[in-house]
Amino acid sequence: METQPTRDAEPTKPWWQMTRTPAPGFCLGALWLLLGVLRWWGLDPDRGWVEPTIAALFTLLGLGYLASAAATVRRRGATRPSSGG
């Protein structure tokens, strides 16, 4: 007798979605982007490759959260039934 895997009542989020809802995605994206910009602003060019790498990672992480949140908003808007009018 085969057993079926149990499924959650709520569908799983897509692999690209970094947060379950858009609000935390926008907040975390803004935070990481701010940290990245501050890192770029205070960058000392004589310190080697570590600081620019960290600044780039913070910036990319912020952009990733913002893109994920924006895609979630667009995806939810596309699945809503349009109101007649």
Query: Is 72 part of a structural domain of the chain?
Result: yes
Query: Is 13 part of a structural domain of the chain?
Result: no
Domain of residue 68, residue span: 22-76
Query: Is 12 part of a structural domain of the chain?
Result: no
Query: Is 16 part of a structural domain of the chain?
Result: no
- Of the candidates 36, 40, 42, the one whose C-alpha atom is nearest the C-alpha of residue 57 is 36
Domain count, the chain: 1
Contacts of 62 (CB under 8 A, 6+ apart): 28, 29, 30, 31, 32, 33, 34, 35, 36
| Single pTM value for the model | 0.72
The predicted-structure confidence for 15-56, as pLDDT tens digits, reads as follows 777 888 899 999 999 999 999 999 999 988 788 899 999 999
Query: Is 66 part of a structural domain of the chain?
Result: yes
